[in-house]
Amino acid sequence: MKDTADSYVTEDGRTIGPVVMEMKNITLRFGGVEAIKDISFDIREGEIRAIIGPNGAGKSSMLNVISGFYVPQEGEVWYKGARRPAMKPFEVAQQGIARTFQNIALFEGMSVLDNVMTGRLTHMTTGLFAQSLWKGKAEQEEIENREVAEKIIDFLEIQAIRKTPVARLPYGLKKRVELARALAAEPSILLLDEPMAGMNVEEKEDMSRFILDVNDEFGTTIALIEHDMGVVMDLSDRVVVMDYGKKIGDGTPHDVRNNQDVIDAYLGVAHD
Amino acid sequence: MNEQLAYTIEVFANGLMAGVLYALVALGFVLIYKASGIFNYAQGVMALFAAMTLVGIQNGQVPFAHLINAIFGTDVHKFGWHVHSFLAIALTVLVMIALAWMVQRFVFRHLVGQEPIILFMATIGLAYFLEGVADLMWGSELKALNVCASEGACLPQGMNVWLEGTTYEALGYGFFIDNLDIVASIVAVILVAGLVIFAQYTKQGRAMRAVADDHQAALSVGVSLNFIWVLVWSLAGFVALVAGIMWGAKSGVQFSLSLIALKALPVLMLGGFTSIPGAIVGGLIIGVGEKLFEFLIGAPFLGGATENWFAYMLALLFLVFRPQGLFGEKIIERV
């Protein structure tokens, strides 16, 4: 039913909408190495979609294809019902796809608030001239966008460090600020590249809670990458499993957990 | 008032004024270096080019006159009109923006991700190219630069009589300070304040700081690197124009103007390559330092002419003891 119906309601009462993004037969090569081999999957509106797999499976490459940092040699990306032409990453961002990075890419010299405000850049439309004059439309725009930024800062519980330069923050908080910046864009799809990487158990729990809350509160569609199976299974509605650049499983956490290929990929296969 | 002390103060003040001009040139370097990691050797030539363009437009010179005459056998040199200074400045700003766009489109867009040394070599090439174009466009003779708001209300030249008279009456010693230096200082303060406000409080300024901080992250929030780079080169072009006007009004528009870029190097080493306040403070320290050194030590004990090398020696000392400069980002390598 799930694959055909336009929308459905999950067990915990959230409505999952129609397909918002579809990857069709994506192949990505670096020279002679095939990082992604002929992979297709889709992302539905309002769901939490996970891409998992062991190290080197091509998960991050896939995320980079979605966010425009890599251009696949073959295959098509469909977004909101139209085929997306090859795009620069900043154009993808302007289309409403926000992301975080595995190794955190924040503006270290800027304050937390300034970082979150950069997330609003795609929503600010006044030109160079109006901005230079500052009064009037530009000021109005700044106030409106500042309100959104403050709301998100409140939501992620980082009010206390609003004015702190990011460089001084500990790792876990930086991850949260990066999430805030991506969220500030009010994205159609939020891409999270290993949001729990390098965190201790407590931080992981915090982050999981925030991801669920974001999805619940704002209805944000989230696609995330993790290699920690346990976390993903609890969070996501549907899971794509990759191994050596190929898709070896796709479905609900329950389906995937019982998939023999997936079990083999994670636990290894006896060669006899 | 003690004459010797008063004279020292005067030297100090003159040093500050000279420092402002160094700072103006250094500022152009910092803008581009911060946003793109390119050390723009052509900054000095940009100042020359801007000043020549301004003079050329003001005097109604036909650009590329020599070239046109040589090819078509004509004999045109001037349009025969005189353009108002403000309009000429506005037009020159447009030319500098066009230059910024072309530099980005035809040079640096193709060099994204290259080693810093390659980018640096490209700017050396750009410097010579621009010098050649400036020569071809406006001719190589020394020109006087006069910026006038209206007839008789030009950039002031010579000593400030009022200041001299007032200080003479109050202190018994008249201070000699150049009018032009005073104007240059005021303009520089306005320019720097404007740049800082632009960077801190506007959308484009925020995007500019984002790009200066992290390219990848800037892309992910929807900032076009190309746009920001054109913007930054345009701003550097504008700063070059201001520097060109001040230096040009002081000593005429001539090709040695491009050498002021070399004086900006020690300023950058002192202030740090990535800091706008650093460029200002560095410029002032060098300006004051070389004037005072010449006055107190150089002339009496070392036979004079120390201004030629003092700045570089100071920069060398800084390189040894504080390589990141006064305000630069500290270089820490994790092992």
B221:A132 CB<8 A: no
**What's the pLDDT score for residue A29?**
93
**What's the pLDDT score for residue B335?**
60
Eight-class DSSP state of B257: G
B220:A121 CB<8 A: no
**Gap from A99 CA to chain B (nearest CA, Å):** 6
B201:A67 CB<8 A: no
**What's the pLDDT score for residue A93?**
94
**Gap from B24 CA to chain A (nearest CA, Å):** 21
Residues of A in Cβ contact (< 8 Å) with B101? none
Least confident of A10-24, B43-57, B151-165, B195-209: B151-165
Q: Which residue of A has its CA nearest to B231?
A: A128
Inter-residue contact B28 to B44 (CB < 8 Å): no
pLDDT band at B308 (very low <50, low <70, confident <90, very high): confident
Helices (runs of H) and strands (runs of E) counted in chain B: 14, 2
**Gap from B235 CA to chain A (nearest CA, Å):** 12
B206:A67 CB<8 A: no
Tokens 């990759």: give the residue: A242
**Rounded mean pLDDT of chain B?**
86
- When pLDDT is averaged across residues B90-112 and rounded to a whole number, the result is 93
Residue A238 touches chain B, beta carbons under 8 Å: no
**What's the pLDDT score for residue A179?**
94
The pair phi, psi for residue A242, each rounded to 5°, is -115, 150
Instruction: Look up residue B261 and give its two tokens.
Output: 């870029």
From the list B51, B60, B13, B12, the residue with the least C-alpha distance to B257 is B51
pLDDT band at B184 (very low <50, low <70, confident <90, very high): confident
Separation between Cα atoms, residue B139 and residue B122, nearest integer Å: 25
From the list A225, A231, A189, A212, the residue with the least C-alpha distance to A12 is A212
Q: State what percent of residues in chain B have pLDDT above 70.
A: 96
| Strand A74-79 versus strand A48-52 pairing type | unpaired
Residues of A in Cβ contact (< 8 Å) with B224? 88, 90
Q: Which residue of A has its CA nearest to B199?
A: A132
- Dihedral (CA of A212, A217, A219, A222) sign: negative
ipTM for the whole predicted complex goes beyond 0.95? no
Eight-class DSSP state of A197: T
Choice between B61 and A132, residue whose per-residue pLDDT is larger: B61
| Strand A97-99 versus strand A189-193 pairing type | parallel
Q: What is the pLDDT of residues B143-155, one digit of tens each?
A: 888 887 776 677 7
Choice between B110 and A132, residue whose per-residue pLDDT is larger: B110
Inter-residue contact A61 to A118 (CB < 8 Å): no
Global pTM reads 0.85
From the list A208, A270, A220, A264, the residue with the least C-alpha distance to A241 is A264
B213:A107 CB<8 A: yes
A110:B209 CB<8 A: yes
Least confident of A63-72, B108-117, B228-237: B108-117
**What's the pLDDT score for residue A2?**
44
Torsion of CA A244, A246, A251, A252, to 10 degrees: 10
Inter-residue contact A207 to A175 (CB < 8 Å): yes
Sequence-distant (≥ 6) Cβ neighbours of residue B271 within 8 angstroms = B26, B30, B277, B278, B279, B280, B281, B282, B283, B325, B326, B327, B328
Separation between Cα atoms, residue B22 and residue A127, nearest integer Å: 32
**What's the pLDDT score for residue A177?**
95
**Gap from A29 CA to chain B (nearest CA, Å):** 20
Separation between Cα atoms, residue B184 and residue A3, nearest integer Å: 70
Choice between B156 and B38, residue whose per-residue pLDDT is larger: B38
Residues of A in Cβ contact (< 8 Å) with B219? 69, 88-90, 93
Residues of A in Cβ contact (< 8 Å) with B201? 134, 142
Q: What is the pLDDT along chain A (272 residues), one digit of tens a residue?
A: 444 457 788 777 788 889 999 999 999 999 888 999 999 999 999 999 999 988 888 999 999 999 999 999 999 999 998 999 989 999 999 999 999 998 899 999 899 999 999 999 988 877 777 777 767 778 888 889 999 999 999 999 999 999 999 999 999 899 999 999 999 999 999 999 999 888 888 888 889 999 999 999 888 999 999 877 778 888 899 999 999 999 998 999 888 888 888 888 877 776 66
SS3 A190: strand
**Gap from A110 CA to chain B (nearest CA, Å):** 8
- Per-residue pLDDT at B158 exceeds 80: no
Separation between Cα atoms, residue A245 and residue A86, nearest integer Å: 21
- When pLDDT is averaged across residues B124-143 and rounded to a whole number, the result is 90
**What's the pLDDT score for residue B233?**
94
**What's the pLDDT score for residue B185?**
87
